[in-house]
Structures are given as C-alpha cells and as structure tokens.
Amino acid sequence: MAVCIAVIAKENYPLYIRSIPAEQELKFHYTVHTSLDVVDEKVSAMGKALVDQRELYLGLLYPTEDYKVYGYVTNSKVKFVMVVDSSNTALRDNEIRSMFRKLHNSYTDVMCNPFYNPGDRIHSRAFDNMVTSMMVQVC
Amino acid sequence: MEGLTLSDAEQKYYSDLFSYCDIESTKKVASNGRVVELFRAAQLPNEVVLQIMELCGATRLGYFGRSQFYIALKLVAVAQSGLPLRVESINTVKDLPLPRFGASKNEQESRHTTSYSSDTENQGSYSGVIPPPPGRVQVKKGSVSHDAVQPRTSTDQQESTSPVVSPQQSPPTSPHTWRKHNRHPSGGNNERSLAGPGPFWSPFSEAQTGSSAGDAVWSGHSPPPPQENWVSFADTPPTSTLLAMHPASVQDQTTVRTVASATTANEIRRQSSSYDDPWKITDEQRQYYVNQFKTIQPDLNGFIPGSAAKEFFTKSKLPILELSHIWELSDFDKDGALTLDEFCAAFHLVVARKNGYDLPEKLPESLMPKLIDLEDSADVGDQSGEVGYSGSPAEAPPSKSPSMPSLNQTWPELNQSSEDTAIVHPVPIRMTPSKIHMQEMELKRTGSDHTNPTSPLLVKPSDLSEENKINSSVKFVSGNTVADGYSSSDSFTSDPEQIGNAVTRQRSHSGTSPDNTAPPPPPPRPHPSHSRSSSLDMNRTFPVTTELCPLKSETVHFWLCISRTSKNKLHTGQQQAGVVAHPPAVPPRPQPSQVPGPHVHRPVDAEGLITHTSTSPQQIPEQPNFADFSQFEVFAASNVNEEPDDEAEKHPEVLQVEKSSDPSGSLRVAKTDGRIEEKTAASAPANVGKSTTPLAPPPKPIRRRLKSEDELRPEVDEHSQKTGVLAAVLSSQPSIPRSVGKDKKAIQASIRRNKETNTVLARLNSELQQQLKDVLEERISLEVQLEQLRPFSHL
C-alpha cells in the first residue's frame, strides 16, 4: 500500500528510498524530507528513551490530501518513513504497524550482514524484495 | 562450406551435440561455453580446434550454425583420427569414427569421454587439454548441467590443477587456459573452479589478474557457461587473442587452483552430475568447506563471527555487493554469524559465483542449513529459505536468534530435561552430605575398611546418618522416586562414571565385605503393594543390621551418588522423582540410625524404606536390598518406633515429603525431618512439589507412604514394566528379618539381594534415560518448529 518507503539514517540522510510510481519520486522525496521534521518533533516530545515498540511507531505524521505519511523510529534513531496513498481504503493502524515491523526486521537483517557498512545505502536484495512486496501489495 | 554428408550415426550424434550446445534453441550455436567445452572435450590441441573452427566457417560467421557445427564436429573426428584437417576431408573421409569429446557435458559426450578421460593425460590423440586428473573427464558427465557448478569447477580444477599436478599437463595448459577464459565470461574470475573453492583464495589474486585479462578479451561469450568449463572451446574470434593471454593467465589459474582441489575437483565433477540440483554440494566440496571452516573456527559446532567471515570471503575478490547478497542468502538465522552449514552454503555460493553462476534469489534447498535433523528439516529449510529471502516477515527465520544453531547442540540436554518432566525418574536428592558419602563410599570401595578409623565413613558417621536420613526422605518424595530409585541404582551400577564413584558404587553393592551393606536402600517405596515398589522388594532388602553400617554408608553414599548424578542429568522437572529414587539411604552406619537412611533413599517405596530403615540396625546388612519394599512396610509399621532407626528412616521420608520441614513432631521425626529437610532442600529441588510436608511424624510414614504411593502410581504406570522386573527381582529376595541375630547370613543375603536390585534398577534407569532422551529430542524439534512458525504468526 505504501507508495513510498524510505529509511533515513540517524543523521537524516537516506539509506534507502523507494517509491512507486517512479515519476513521482521527487515529490515523495520531498515529502519524506519534510516529514523528518515532524519525526524529530515527535521524538523529542516523547522525552525519555522509549524502548517500547509502541513508541517506536510514531503514527501518522501528517496527512495531505493525497496521502498520509507514517513514521517509525528505531532505538538507534534510524527512521522509517512510509507514504501511503490516501485513496486506499484507510489502512488500519495495525497494518501500518505490521508493515513497519517487517521493515524493521528486514533492516536488522541487513545490519547483521557483515558486508554491510552501517551508513551505506542499502542494496540488499532481500530488503528490496520485502519492500517491493509491501509496496505492491498496497496498490 | 561444402555440403556435408553424414552417416546416420553421425547425423544423430551431431544433432544431439548441436542440441546440447544450442542452449538458446536458436539453431545457431554461438561460440558459447558449451561449444567451447565441447570442443575442448575433444581433447584436441588448441590450434587444431582453431583450425577446425575456421574451416567450418564459424570464424567467419561468428557463430556456429548447424551446418558449421556439424562440419566442426566432423573435423573434430577427423582430427581425432589423426588426419590432417582439410575442408575436403569432411566428405572424403569415410568411416570416420564419431568425434569423441572428453569432457562429458552431456551424456553423449560422456559416452565418449569416459573412455578418454580419466586418467591419461591425454596423451594419445587427445593430447591435451583435458585435465590430467583422472576424474575430470568422468566428471564431465555430471557436470554437463550447467547448473552443476561443481562439475565445472572440478573440471576446471582438474584442468588447472593438472598443469601443476603433472608435468604432462603443461602442454595442455594453454588449451586449458584458453578454455578457461572462454568459458567464463562471467565477471570476474575465471576461477571456474567451483570444485576447488578453498585453495584458491590466494590464487585468486593471481588468477584474477590473468583471467580477468583473458576474460576481458574474451568476454563476448554467453555468460556463465555452466558447463564444462574446462572444455570451453575458445570462441572463435576472440580465441586467438585470448590464447595469448590465456596461457599466462590460465597457468596462473591452474597453478593456483591446483592446490587442493585437484583431486576434489575430479571427484566433485564426477559426483556432481545432478542436473536437477545444481547447488548440491558434493562430498569433496563439503569436506573442503569444512576444512576451511576449521581454519577459522576449530569447533565445528561453533560460529564464525561476521567479521571473520567477511574477511574470509572478501579474499575471494567478489564484489562486496555480491558477497553481501551471498551472506543474506546463507545466514539462515540472521544472527550475524555462520554455522558450519551456513558457512558451507556461503562458500558454495561464492564458488558458484566465481565460476560464473548467478546467485540465486533464494537459498537453494540443498544449501539450507539443516537446522533440525528430523524429517521436518525440509520444511524448515523451505520456510527458512523463504523467510530469509523475504527478510521481513521472517522475524526470525527459523529463529533468527543464534539459539537456532545452538538448538541442535542443546537438544540432547533439552531432551533430557524434558524427559525428566515426562518420565519419572528418580530425582536425585542432593544431599549436602552426599559428597561426604561419596567419599566414604569411595573409600570403602577402594578397600578402606569401614572399620578404618580414617575411613570417611567412620569419620563422619553423623553425616552419613544424616545423609541416610535425607536420602530416605528423598526417596519418599514422589512416585518418581520409585523409578528413580531403581534407575538410580541401575544407573549407578551400570554407569558408574556418572555418579562419579563408579568404582565405589559398584563395590558398594558387590558386598565385598559384610560391611557393604548393599547399596543404600532404595528410596523408600511408598507402598509395598505399589506396583513399582513391589518390584523392588525393598522391605526385604532393608533389614540391614547395624553391623552393616559401614556398608550402609557406602550404599547410602552410593545412592547419593546416583541421585546426584541423575539429578544433574535430569535437571528439570522430574528431579523430584529422580532425587527421590536416589541413592537409598546413607550407607549403613554403625549407628542404628543409619540403617534407615540408606533405605530411605529408595524412592521406590518410601514407606518401605522407611520401615526398613527403621527396622533396626540389624537391617543394615540388608540395606543393600533397598529394593526390598517390605522394609518400608516394616518401617511404616514401626513408625511409632522411637528407635533412632526410625528416625533415620523417617528422614528419608521427610525428605521425600519435600522440604517439608516438619521438624517438630515425634522425636525422631523431628530430628530426622529437620535433617532431612535441609538435605532435601539442598539436594532436591524437585522434591518440593511432590512430597508433602510430613508434619506429624508418627503419621508421616504412613502419610508419606500414601502420598508416595500416589506419586509413584502414575510413574509406576509408566514404568510398570520396569518395576515389574524389579519387583520380581526384589520379591525374590527374602525379606530381611529385622532380627539382628542373623547378621552374617542376613548381611550376605541382603548383599546379594541388593546387588540384584541394583542391576535391576540400573536397567530401569537406563531405560528411563533413553525415554527421556527421546522425549527431549521431540521437544526440541517441536520447539524449533515453533520458533520457525512464530515469526510468521507475528506479523
């Protein structure tokens, strides 16, 4: 359902960003970028370090007329931003959570790979496939 | 070219070969690897091959059309027959044998090749190329399938190695090189040798330079010609240029390769003929991988950390991206470390990649680590593969956690532990003094006279008595005790090592001396009528006289040992049972109070033991017959008995009851209980649940008996058979009279009985252990399955 999925590193540079359809990529990039501010805002609002996954999930960051943006932050301040098309029947929150969970799991798998240097862009095929499945399933 | 007239056989053969080479079914065989290999398999000098190609027009056309191909084949036959290559010879030479190709890409070729292959270094008509390693050619058959990387590699290996291996090969090297290069357009390394993965790490660097150069020139070819690499028939046009480079590079490669894989390559080739499973790891390869694993991690059950693996695989000079992908595929449990299976899979993938095979998107089933050596391993593998592949959903593809690999290792332990819960075994009640007893027992065993003042037995009679008491109480703990007691004794006798004092234990029952009052009386059997308990006629065994104290102490010690060991083994759950069954009361002590101790140990018939122990010091000699449940009854009857024996017996009962601390109560009970309790508490965590607190001493024995009966009953059901056997054994033993009078005879008789009981119990114990193991295994497998399933259920 997601039309765009992005993984942002702690320093707010993208580790992985993918969107469909491709022609709107730039627009989604911009959206993700602006959503980072919202993420930071929510994170700082949370205050103490929260380990609970519930708090990892930030929820709806902000909606626009076309889509909604959801955020999720990991304990290492890696952020997952997902842009969902609003036209889709509203995805339940749980679904979004599960999608983020899958993302997180895939991300940890990528991290476990010794050949992956943290901070590099993610080229993992497995990760790509997982993201594709999420995006395809959406639309 | 002139028209080509082919005989029927030739026609068919050529057609087959063409089909084989025409992997794209375009009726036009490009100078791809298959053709190259095919021609290489012809074992003709490179120059000849080149010439053939020119003659047939492939050089001109740039590809092998069917006619060109046929002509080429014909020319190959001509050349193999030793005739000069002439265009005219195509049709003029009649009765030409079918061209023979060494490398068996196909069965067809293999037919021919087999003859050649192996061994000889291509001397004869085949001069050359083919690899000296005997196996090579044969391998061809297997390696035909392009997927079979192994064959390829092995072939390559063979080729490469051959030059090194035998001087004869040197001439062929050039063709080899040629071939090698041709074959593999795939990026990078020509190292086709999947077969020899290992040794070529270092060579990689050298080979790389050479091969890469060659490849670069050569490239144009179809990508990873899966097959026969070694046969790669140099693609026509580039060949010449390549040739120049090839010799150099090839030689590098070959030398490099040689290293270890030569032989392995051959064999691998041979064995890898699995068309359907290109990713199968042959035995040689596997062995090679295992050896490489050992260089990094000596423990085959251990992990290779990610960093070490990264270094190792980086040597292969594959691009990091590909290595990363390989890692993703092979790290099954996503723990950042590689187990042996994962490592082999990764290594295999690297080798395949180096040979030009594209990496799969999903880990092939044959490469999946065998997480469970059960029938569901396939399922696991599939799931894991899926999971690993997809990544996310698999929260822990087969348990991402490193625990997965460890599961295999921990299975035995788990099995045992689960078994414990399921099976009633004598839960060893750890009694603090047990150590002392052990020592004493050992001393006794070692021949130290119980009368020896220095004997630990004598030194610490009190301890022993305490232990006895505890043991006896332990025995009463639960129904398991019955079984435990038996098994303990069995184990004790049968597996002395487990207990630690093997020697001592055995000796204890051997009754070498009258003082060896038989093994500590088996845990008091709850009820003589108890099926289990009845099997061990504890009562009979228990009337051990006090004279047998020393023995008693031994036996008690013995039991303690048993209980301890069994307890260790059966850690979880069942401990109670196990402990209880543990070593019967403390070895007979000089004190009357000790008498009951050993008996008590036997969980079989707690009451019986108790009664037995309480019977009197006279019973000490009979203590070895801990299985004598009659003792228990006697003990129970003598509950009221204020004798210290009773106390001693009560101790076990009390202990059994669990840490029940019912210190108050009747004198003896209180005293013994207290002691027992502390002992039991210390020793048998398991006992907790089972035994009820023996509050009132006097009724204790009775109560315990009842309780233990109940407890024992369920277990008895399980081990009824065993108990039956035991019962038979025990029942055969005459009940030990309480009278102190017949010491000698009684002692000896009791010793005999105890010995018998011991053997029976040992048998029972071993059987129970086996059951435990089985159950634990099942449990582990189920746990593994559960873990695998769990991730899916999460999301």
For B80-137, how does the pLDDT look when each residue is reduced to its tens digit (9 = 90+)?
A: 777 766 666 666 655 666 666 654 444 444 444 444 444 443 444 434 344 344 433 3
> pLDDT at residue B384 above 80?
no
What is the least distance, in Å, from the CA of A53 to any CA of chain B? 14
> pLDDT at residue B343 above 50?
yes
Interface test with B, best of A16, A82, A96, A125 (most B CBs within 10 A): A125
CB contact under 8 A, B392 and A98: no
Tell me, yes or no, whether A20 lies in a domain: yes
Tell me, yes or no, whether A13 lies in a domain: yes
CB contact under 8 A, A106 and B361: no
Give me chain B's average pLDDT, please: 55
Tokens linked to B262? 């030569």
Q: What is the pLDDT of residues B512-537, one digit of tens each?
A: 444 445 555 555 554 444 444 444 44
Q: What is the pLDDT of residues B730-741, one digit of tens each?
A: 555 544 445 556
* Least CB–CB distance from B325: residue in A105, A125, A134: A125
CB of A92 within 8 Å of a chain B CB? The answer is no
CB contact under 8 A, B392 and A115: no
Residue B550 — very low, low, confident or very high, per pLDDT cuts 50/70/90? Answer: very low
Tell me, yes or no, whether A6 lies in a domain: yes
CB contact under 8 A, A112 and B334: yes
Tokens linked to A27? 């627009």
CATH of the domain at A77: 3.30.450.70
Tell me, yes or no, whether A139 lies in a domain: no
| CA distances from residue B67 to B58, B79, B199, B578, B655 in whole angstroms, order as listed | 9, 18, 42, 83, 95
Instruction: Give residue B659's pLDDT.
Output: 44
Count other Cβ atoms within 10 Å, centred on residue B637: 16
Rg over alpha carbons for chain B, rounded to the nearest Å, is 39
CB contact under 8 A, B336 and A112: yes
Interface test with A, best of B392, B399, B401, B792 (most A CBs within 10 A): B392
Tokens 């930030």, residue located: A58
Tell me, yes or no, whether A89 lies in a domain: yes
Q: What is the pLDDT of residues B679-703, one digit of tens each?
A: 444 444 444 434 444 444 444 444 4
Instruction: Give residue B393's pLDDT.
Output: 43
- CB contact burial B466-489 (16+ within 10 A = b; e otherwise): bbbbbbbbbbbbbbbbbbbbbbbb
Tell me, yes or no, whether A113 lies in a domain: yes
Segments forming the whole domain that contains residue A61:
2-134
Tell me, yes or no, whether A123 lies in a domain: yes
Residue B314: closest CA among chain A residues belongs to which residue? A115
Phi, psi of B405 (to 5 degrees): -60, -35
Average pLDDT over residues B288-306: 83
* Least CB–CB distance from A126: residue in B307, B391, B794: B391
Q: Which residues of B touch A (CB under 8 A)?
A: 305-307, 309-310, 313, 320-321, 323-325, 327-328, 331, 334-336, 361, 388-395, 400, 791, 794-795
CB contact under 8 A, B391 and A129: yes
Tell me, yes or no, whether A15 lies in a domain: yes
Tokens 């290109």, residue located: B278
Q: What is the pLDDT of residues B31-72, one digit of tens each?
A: 556 666 776 677 777 777 777 767 766 555 666 677 777 777
Cα separation, B528 vs B609, in Å, equals 10
CB contact under 8 A, A129 and B325: no
Tokens 């017996």, residue located: B649
The model's pTM: 0.34
Contacts of B791 in chain A (CB under 8 A): 105
Q: Are B538 and B488 in contact (CB under 8 A)?
A: no
Packing angle of the helix pair B480-494, B743-794 (nearest 10 deg): 110
Q: Are B757 and B728 in contact (CB under 8 A)?
A: no
Query: Between A and B, how many CB-CB pairs are < 8 A?
Result: 78
* Least CB–CB distance from A106: residue in B327, B361, B392: B392
Count of domains observed in chain A = 1
CB contact under 8 A, B390 and A133: yes
Q: Are B633 and B611 in contact (CB under 8 A)?
A: yes
Query: HEC profile for B45-74?
Result: CHHHHHHHHHHHCHHHHCEEEHHHHHHHHH
CB of A40 within 8 Å of a chain B CB? The answer is no
Query: HEC profile for B398-467?
Result: CCCCCHHHHHHHHHHHHHHHHHHHHCCCCCECCCCCHHHHHHHHHHHHCCCCCCCCCCHHHHCHHHHHHH
CB of A87 within 8 Å of a chain B CB? The answer is no
CB of A103 within 8 Å of a chain B CB? The answer is yes
Cα separation, B301 vs B298, in Å, equals 9
| CA distances from residue B561 to A69, B60, B580 in whole angstroms, order as listed | 67, 88, 12
